[in-house]
Amino acid sequence: MAAVSVTDVRRAFSEGGRTREVLRGLSFDVAGGELVALLGRSGSGKSTLLNLIAGIDRPDGGRIVIDGCEVSALDERSRTLFRRKRIGFVFQFFNLISTLTVEENVRLPLELAGARAGAARTEARRLLQAVELGDRGAEYPDHLSGGEQQRVAIARALVNAPAVVLADEPTGALDAETGRLVLGMFVELSRQRGTTVILVTHSDEVGRAADRVLVMKDGRLAPASGLGSDGASVAPSGAAPRA
């Protein structure tokens, strides 16, 4: 069974009295432990799709299933609870809370999920050690570099041991060297820990590091032009590539 299954997903928005179709019947599967890159120009629907998979938004049609749960059929509260427990989300601009320390930012998802303070503190410190920031837990985010803040964001996304990690342009705000470091962390998540990772990106370098590339154009899947470490197996529009 696929870790993530997207079937005939559609989403449209009303703008100025007109309807704009952003996603037009997308279908694909992502296997457990697979690293998939979503490439495409701005406006192609990548971030919209990521928000639907995360349960932040709901599709107008189609189904999204994560680890056997049809997330697209859940109400808003149930989607929020599912996301807290099973999905890690990494944003391009980090989205750390400036009034909380680094450790408090990492602990927050566990505390929202009802974990005991001691257990949340222990896990947050373990993950900060894993991203080589174990000595920065008491500092505030604005004292860290962009790359360090992104590593904190990754630790926060992993604190609930999610089945799926979603990342929206996680290297887009970083310099090239730091971006490669952060990309390496996502590769390790997939290869060494078996975490399913879906990355939205404009970067060909990220695409080459992925197991598979899906290129989006005008709300559909398009040929990948040979990107991706495995030859970039990509289904045509409306088809579902199977792992």
Mean pLDDT estimate for the chain: 88
Q: 232-241: per-residue pLDDT in tens?
A: 444 333 333 3
The domain segmentation of the chain, as residue ranges, is 4-100+144-222
Q: 19-77: per-residue pLDDT in tens?
A: 999 999 999 999 999 999 999 888 889 999 999 999 999 999 999 999 999 999 999 99
**Greatest CA separation found in the chain?**
53
| Higher per-residue pLDDT: 231 or 30 | 30
For the residues 128-132, what does the mean pLDDT come to?
91
Given this model, what pLDDT does residue 176 score? 87
CATH architecture entry for 4-100+144-222: 3-Layer(aba) Sandwich (3.40)
Q: 160-175: per-residue pLDDT in tens?
A: 989 899 999 888 888 8
- Residue 45 has a CB neighbour count (10 Å cut-off) of 22
- Residue 89 has a CB neighbour count (10 Å cut-off) of 22
| Higher per-residue pLDDT: 143 or 1 | 143
Q: 168-202: per-residue pLDDT in tens?
A: 988 888 888 888 888 888 998 898 889 999 999 88
Percentage of residues in the chain with pLDDT exceeding 70? 91
| Higher per-residue pLDDT: 178 or 108 | 108
Residue 222 pairs with which residues in a beta bridge?
215
Q: Which band of pLDDT confidence, cut at 50, 70 and 90, is reported for residue 4?
A: very high
Percentage of residues in the chain with pLDDT exceeding 90? 64
Q: What is the 3-state secondary structure (H, E, C) of the chain?
A: CCCEEEEEEEEEEEECCEEEEEEEEEEEEECCCCEEEEECCCCCCHHHHHHHHHCCCCCCEEEEEECCEEHHHCCHHHHHHHHHHHEEEECCCCCCCCCCCHHHHHHHHHHHCCCCHHHHHHHHHHHHHHCCCCCCCCCCHHHCCHHHHHHHHHHHHHCCCCCEEEEECCCCCCCHHHHHHHHHHHHHHHHHHCCEEEEEECCHHHHHHCCEEEEEECCEEECCCCCCCCCCCCCCCCCCCCC
Q: Which band of pLDDT confidence, cut at 50, 70 and 90, is reported for residue 231?
A: very low
Identify whether the C-beta of residue 23 lies closer than 8 Å to the C-beta of residue 9.
Answer: yes
Residue 63 pairs with which residues in a beta bridge?
7
Tell whether the model's pLDDT for residue 82 goes beyond 70.
Answer: yes
Q: Which of 129, 132, 123 is nearest to 181 (CA)?
A: 132
